[in-house]
Amino acid sequence: MTLNAVAERVNGILKQEFLLEKLDLPLQDMRRVIKDAVYKYNNLRPHYSCGYKTPEYMHHQNQIKIRNYRNKQSSKTLAGL
């Protein structure tokens, strides 16, 4: 999964779970709502890929191995380019 794909997935989750698309707020208020949603996503919402822990918890512990979704070889290397 590329970084762009991860960003798209996070954006989709923020829009769906926090209903950000349905809000009609001034820009300053929308920034505050998005900042709060990102905080909740990283600090309060358990993630399946983190063993139902929060990303914040996973980044500050050293007991559980953090999953890495990057390819070990780039697609160019695999295609022989």
pLDDT (tens digit, 9 = 90+) per residue, 8-17? Answer: 988 888 888 8
CB-CB contact of 71 with 79 (8 Å): no
- Please give the Cα distance from 69 to 51 (Å, whole number): 15
pLDDT, residue 48, reads 82
Low-confidence ranges of the chain (pLDDT < 70): 1, 66-81
| Structural domain boundaries, residue 70 | 3-79
Report pLDDT for 13: 86
Q: Note the pLDDT of residue 59.
A: 80
How far, in whole angstroms, is CA 33 from its chain's centroid? 16
In terms of Cα–Cα distance, which of 67, 71, 11 is closest to 38?
A: 11
Domain count for the chain:
1
